[in-house]
Structure 1
Amino acid sequence: MTIAAAFVVFPFCLAFAAISDLLTMTIPNRVSAILLGAFFVIAPFAGLGLGEIGLHVAAAALVFAVCFCLFAVNIMGGGDAKLLTACAIWFGLDASLVAFLVYVSICGGVLTLAVLLLRRQENAILASGIPVPRLLLTAKKIPYGIAIALGGFAAYASSPLMEAAFAQLW
């Protein structure tokens, strides 16, 4: 049962965060809290040892330090920083974390360009009747939770936690 949670909790939290960020331009703190708490419950049952869990915590601390600096200079939102940190603990200090961050960066760039193009065409979009959240067109922010979610979906299968969970299924 706990192993099954590894397949559900992370993707569900990312999907919830992405939808919330799209519709309200905020990522609820409970999403990051659930991700962090669930990791500490699931990791031992997935077979991660104390040393491996420590490396996952180190990955989250490293990502948090960078995100905190970006937040302090007003480059990144607080919800995005918390979500990235909570996601990083699921990847640990290995290549899957790098893959996750690269996917997030690529998706974030594409998302930013798409939102900027949408905002340039605001009048045409509103006139066409295409349902687009109003905040997406009027806010000065980019809903980066969408990019974080897409990057997480793309990289999650290669994370040590998922590999350990897959190994227990066979």
Structure 2
Amino acid sequence: MALLALAPALALLLAAALHDIAARTIPNAASLAIALAGLAARALAEEALPGLAAALAVFLLAWLAWRCRVMGGGDVKLLAACALLVPPAAVPSLVLATAIAGGLLGLAYLALRPLLPAPAAARPGGLPGRALRAEAWRIRRGGPLPYAVAIALGTFFTLLV
């Protein structure tokens, strides 16, 4: 399936990643819309059942990670939805690419932690400035990663390769 046909789902995936950066949540509606677009793509490719089976396997694996408190619930749903965007044979590559992107994201956050200065007394105006200030605060205190970023990067990489 052409990447262009998945453009709306990929735009939603980007929006979910940005939302995760800003608020550390992923809207359920975004995961649902991505899953429906992926299911339509799998149906058009005549791989609906294998696609659903692969997405269920990813969901169960991610659910176990959630139970161990190493992954958020929104991340579980988003990763399973993204498993429907790629062909079933590419799902292991998606999981691997997402794990590598998550590791690199974690390393970047660890590397940035000692480099970020203390916050300025004046609060920045505008949403981007406030979001950057909040993210710097999360990095300095070792807060949770916005894992939707890793999921989006893994999905984009898997679809492009």
**Unaligned 5+ residue runs, structure 1?**
159-170
Higher RCO (Cα < 8 Å, 6 or more apart): 1
Q: In structure 2, what is the equivalent of residue 59 of structure 1? A: 54
Matches within 5 A, 1:17-166: 17-44=16-43, 46=44, 48-49=45-46, 52-94=47-89, 96-122=90-116, 124=117, 126=119, 131=129, 132-135=132-135, 137-138=137-138, 140-158=143-161
Q: How many residues align?
A: 149
Counterparts of 2:91 and 2:77, CA distance in 1? 16
Structure 1 pair 140–151 and aligned structure 2 pair: CA distance change class (3 A): same
Structure with the largest fraction of helix: 1
Equivalent pair of 1:104/1:148 in contact (CA under 8 Å): yes
Identity fraction in percent: 31
Q: In structure 1, what is the equivalent of residue 10 of structure 2? A: 11
Report the Cα offset of residue 135 of structure 1: 4.0
Equivalent pair of 1:115/1:136 in contact (CA under 8 Å): no
**Unaligned 5+ residue runs, structure 2?**
none
Question: In the alignment, residue 89 of structure 1 is paired with which amino acid?
Answer: L
TM-score under structure 2 length normalisation:
0.80
> What SS class does the counterpart of residue 85 from structure 1 fall into?
helix
Equivalent pair of 1:56/1:89 in contact (CA under 8 Å): yes
Equivalent pair of 1:118/1:137 in contact (CA under 8 Å): no
Counterparts of 1:60 and 1:136, CA distance in 2? 34
Structure 1 pair 126–136 and aligned structure 2 pair: CA distance change class (3 A): closer
